[in-house]
Amino acid sequence: MLLPTYPLKTARLVLRPFKKDDLAALHSFQSSPDVTRYLYWEPRTRAETAKILAEKIENARLTEPGRTLSLAVELVETGDLIGDLTLRCTSAEHRSGEIGVVFHPKHHGRGYAAEAATELLRLGFEDLELHRIFGRCDARNVASASLLEGLGMRREAHLLENELVKGEWTDELVYAMLAAEWRRR
């Protein structure tokens, strides 16, 4: 399906496959309660992060529907790993995909997530030729909702108490963009 030509570059960022020596940097934000507050998982131990990193290394290309592309995001200026992107092909038949974005809190508020996610949308729409890409977030996660809206995605749903996350019923917001909307941006 897709083997991106790496590295992918934006004005300030490099998107690339994960590698073994990303463990410390990835763990620095996967272990943060601030980062995982609205995610399905609790802060990870170093061993848990190492297991996830091994999976991310294997996900450097999309080989079939249902698989996930995982990309490390690093700053051009310093080479520091600051974020983690995912693009999952949810259906080949319907040409749909889902994006995910997780960034280190010390890099929030600088537009890096929007810059990286825009490149991820470009990859999905232009290289994979997806018809529809969606993103989901906990309704309490104002920053994620703002990011998805800022990317030009439309809110399609506000699902009330649809998931039990960490022992609590939570609302979920669903945002999406069609290929035609991407082209009109």
Residue 75 in domain: yes
CATH code of residue 22: 3.40.630.30
User: Is residue 41 a contact partner of residue 165, using CB atoms and an 8 Å limit?
Assistant: no
Q: Which own/partner contact pairs does 63-67 have at CB distance under 8 Å and 24+ positions apart?
A: 63/1, 64/1, 64/89, 64/92, 65/1, 65/89, 65/90, 65/91, 65/92, 65/93, 66/90, 67/1
Residue 146 in domain: no
pLDDT digits (tens, 9 = 90+) for 6-23: 999 999 999 999 999 999
Residue 101 in domain: yes
Residue 185 in domain: no
pLDDT at 144: 97
Which pLDDT band holds residue 78 (cuts at 50, 70, 90)?
very high
pLDDT(1) > 70: no
pLDDT at 53: 98
pLDDT at 54: 97
Residue 65 in domain: yes
Residue 97 in domain: yes
Domain that holds residue 109: 8-136
**How many domains are contained in the chain?**
1
Residue 155 in domain: no
Q: How much is the pTM? A: 0.94
Residue 37 in domain: yes
